[in-house]
Structure 1
Amino acid sequence: MSEHNIASEEMKFPNALQKLCLLGPFLYLPDCSVLPWPLFAGTLAILSLGLMASIVVITVLITNHSSNQGHQSLPALPNNTTSQRDCYNGTCSENWIWSRGSCYYISKESKPWPNSQAACKKKNSSLLKIDSREELESFLKYLKASYWVGLSHNGTAGPSLWEDASALSQDKLTVINLSHKGNCAYFGMGLYVFYEHCDASNTYICEQMAM
């Protein structure tokens, strides 16, 4: 087909199609004079802003919906006993460790038992009192050293007492009572308590209720 024939074929298109002009990558208008470029650009900007606003609103709605579902799926904290409630209550001061409603201070310095007791009192606390097997299992078993605790006795035949004068419960704690050792107790690895001379230096653990 000659160039003259091609031109003749192109002239056969309707006048409406001949007047199409490109105003954007995918936008054609019948007549470029109908919508000036500045007006078109402004219109396109407004449409873009509207689209962006719609995306933001949809994103916020989806986020809120997901957040509400997350809160609804959280399990309820146990509250049938006081000990269980204590596991989830209170906070501790800096350098103290929280566990099961109590705060623990693990010393780095070594002191004799009486000096360790005095150091804890200055911190408004007392030497560690082990109240239950759960306390051992949840926290103390992870310690890798020995520490003074608030347990002592007046002699080999005397009862073992905590600082608050309560008696040691043998079913909660295993004490290795060596007759040739002293009267002050320290907690060691293996979930056991040993007696040592009170003037020996050892690290210690202070305990107080979480605030």
Structure 2
Amino acid sequence: METLDAGGQRIAYRTSPGSGPAVVFVHGNSSSSAAWARVLDGAFGQRFRVLALDLPGHGESARAKDPAAYSIPGYARVVADFAEAAGAGDAVLVGWSLGGHIALSASTRLPGVRGIVVHGTPPVASPADLATAFLPNPAVATGFTGEVSREDATAYARAQLALGSPCRSTRRSPTSSPPTPRRARRSAAACRASRTPTSARSSPAPACRWRSCTAPRSSW
């Protein structure tokens, strides 16, 4: 872990060895940069310059001096300051859950940002709208369970994928035979491909170049 000063806030972060375009990952509520460890250590991190920070009061980052920092605008300010301090003001921002809302808000402070990828981040105007933001799914309850079985964890992971996606299509019935090594490798390759940027541009682009996000910035 490394640290830097982001607008007066000590922020701990992880980096990958890649030298390609920068990608800043923002974790969800009550989590940390450890959530992205496999991304940094894998092929993606070998190709791109990945930075994953611990938000104030999370992981190894210092607690915020101002309680107002524990809000989406406060976190967004820290993320923007972090990106600038790390020389990644033109990065692609990736946010999960609360991190997605933070990334969207931080992008307004980073005019050079290349794009944004969010996951589990409903575009709502206020907390009162959350009930209409999610489709009912029993698997979500797994995230609020103290002990999770492998079967429940697998069901939870599949629930996060779109129907028909390469990763979800590998689901087997209890009576089916295990996939052959060749099929397993092919399925794994398809999953990795669905999470890889389609291109890495050398200059800021008006649209996100990731398979999971193709909307122009004007529609964000």
Which TM class, normalised by the smaller chain length? under 0.3
Q: Which has the higher contact order (CA 8 A, sep 6+)?
A: 1
What TM-score do the two structures reach when normalised by structure 2? 0.22
